Amino acid sequence: MKYTKYITSAAGLLGLGAILVACTPAPTMKTGYDYAIPETQAMQDDDFSNPAFVWVDIGEEQWSTVDGEAGKSCESCHGDASSMKGISTSYPKYSAEDGKMRTLQHQINYERTERMKAKAWKWEGDEMLGMASFIKNQSKGMPLNVSIEGEAAPFYEAGKAFYMQRRGGLDMSCKNCHMDYPGVKIRANVLTNGLPNGFPTYRLKWQKIGSLHRRFRGCNSNIRATPYKQGSDEYTNLELFLTHRANGVAVETPAVRN
């Protein structure tokens, strides 16, 4: 049975007034793909129509490009890119060298600076987003399988606490939207479960591909909270929590969203 609700407090602070929403509560957790309109789904499904594959192509080119003082490429150590199948499904991972969690993007820069003796890539740069998309695309269709055992446990708890904490001028948490109201419309957009399985993702709003941490920053800004930097410990822990929450969900990278 469908029902109608008003989301008023946050909208009032935004000056939007009451937002009428109607939905059928989702019985199970879904990905953003499931909430997308058919046209957006079709764009993601067709590799030739998916605009994110411009960046996948960049990553594929970079894979065999020699860079840095060591005179190496990714291919020099890892061989064919098919060797990356399944690798990204277990990130973020605990690093004993750092004493904290590493996302796939952290690991890419580690390989560049330590193995290749090359310059680190910018978090939202085309090369980084291209390589992350290319590597994750090797695992497309495989289930996420992130561990929160052992050393990773306290970082998971920190990410969970971040997810549940109300913050910003709207006094809202991640949970308020993505656990409490998935499937509900807020203005023209449908709230989803907020799963990370399609990142890096091409957003029609951005007209380009972007990282999960860019999306975190956008959400923080929307609720009038101060965003953290991409790659920060706070966002890395949050990524760990979200990815573990999505364990078993198939990788869609590169996804297309509104």
Q: Is the peptide bond before 154 cis (omega within 30 degrees of 0)?
A: no
User: Is 219 in contact with 234 (CB distance < 8 Å)?
Assistant: no
Span between the terminal Cα atoms of the chain, in Å = 27
Amino acid at residue number 21: V
* Cα separation, 223 vs 221, whole angstroms: 5
Set 23, 74, 177, 219: catalytic member: 219
Can 77 be counted among the known catalytic residues? no
**Rounded to whole angstroms, what are the CA distances from 111 to 82, 125, 143, 145, 178?**
18, 16, 25, 22, 34
E-strand ranges in the chain read 3-7, 19-23, 93-95, 100-102, 185-186, 189-190, 201-203, 208-210, 255-257
CA angle, 82 as apex, 249 and 46 as ends, to 5°?
Answer: 60
Q: Give the bridge partners for 197, in sequence order.
A: none
E-strand ranges in 68-207 read 93-95, 100-102, 185-186, 189-190, 201-203
Residues in the chain: 258
Catalytic residues: 219
